[in-house]
Each structure stands twice: as C-alpha cells, then as structure tokens.
Amino acid sequence: MTVGRGATVGAGAILLPGIQVGAHAMVAAGAVVDRDVPPHALVAGNPHRQVGWACRCGTRLAGTACPRCGAR
C-alpha cells in the first residue's frame, strides 16, 4: 500500500494490499478501497466509488477552481 503526499485516509477505512492512493486524494471514513485511487480524487463507500475531486488544501471542488484557495 502506498499513500501519496498530502492524501487523507478517514478513520476505519480499509485499504486492500497493493493499493495506491494518489497525492492529495481523500478517502472517506469507513470506505473499502479495492483499487487504486487517482490523485485529487474524493472516494467513499463499500466498495469505494469516486464522488468528487479534492483540492490540495482539502476543499471539495465544484468546478475547475478551488473556492477556498483559488488553485486551478
């Protein structure tokens, strides 16, 4: 298992062996991750599914620019 720089894994999340979580990705609490998570992805559920994108500051993205820090 590899967790990228700045990635967040919620409490009780289960990551199967050999999984890679990309940089700045967010895994929700209780999620079961059975395949790789791309960078900046927001995933949740059992089995996990992508429910959105996350900025490096930790804000959920609604478009191409972060409403909190302005990053694109």
- Residue 48's domain comprises 2-61
pLDDT along the chain (72 residues), means of 10: 95 97 97 97 97 91 86 81
How confident is the model at residue 39, as a pLDDT?
97
How confident is the model at residue 67, as a pLDDT?
86
- Give just the sign of the alpha carbon dihedral 31, 18, 61, 57: positive
How confident is the model at residue 48, as a pLDDT?
97
Count of domains in the chain? 1
How confident is the model at residue 4, as a pLDDT?
96
14 belongs to a structural domain: yes
26 belongs to a structural domain: yes
DSSP helix, strand, coil percent of the chain (3-state; round to 5): 0, 35, 65
* CATH number of the domain bearing residue 42: 2.160.10.10
How confident is the model at residue 64, as a pLDDT?
82
13 belongs to a structural domain: yes
